[in-house]
Structure 1
Amino acid sequence: MRKRVVAYVPELIDRSKVAAAAEVTFVSNPAELASVDADLVVVDLSRPGVVDVLPQIRARTIGFGRHTQRDILDAARAAGCDEVLVRSDFFPRIRELLS
């Protein structure tokens, strides 16, 4: 059975990298993540509202963000994000992480 991956990645360049790595369904609003049926959720932590919805997500969650936003990365961990990575670690490993 194929893994169901859902992502909230609004930036077009990042979105294309995620789409190239796996079959992904994208949502346009972070609030939609609370009700998705997925095995894995991928989120851009730098976007407003993402950290707030993390506790409501039932699927395994991987978040990525800028290394300069340590407070957001720490808040994501505290909110239950399963794996929090800086962008420079996330994108080189994207295929491995989404498989």
Structure 2
Amino acid sequence: MIDGAFARWLAAQAGQALLGLRAELGFADPGALKSAGDKVSHDLIRTELAKWRPGDAVLSEEDEGSRLAGAAEVSAGTVSRLTADRVWIIDPLDGTREFS
């Protein structure tokens, strides 16, 4: 699958997971919904990228320390963003306020 098609598929998978989560949790606690939505989408995207694009690096807004310029890799064994041929830059749930 080419990268554009893969990215669309991945976004659709994350969207379906988020819609399911919102249906399950409802809107009673917007803070909990935001947090859960970020986590569900981040985990799904990270898992699928690791499965289908294991040699690619990832910079996710939800990675610990990613908001710091030049942040070190999050965990041992991840591909360095500085030397990778390809880096996926993701915001797992853009518009968390609107989502909740």
TM-score by length of 2: 0.28
1 or 2 for the larger relative contact order (CA 8 Å, sep ≥6)? Answer: 2
Rg (Cα) greater in structure: 2
**Larger strand percent:** 1
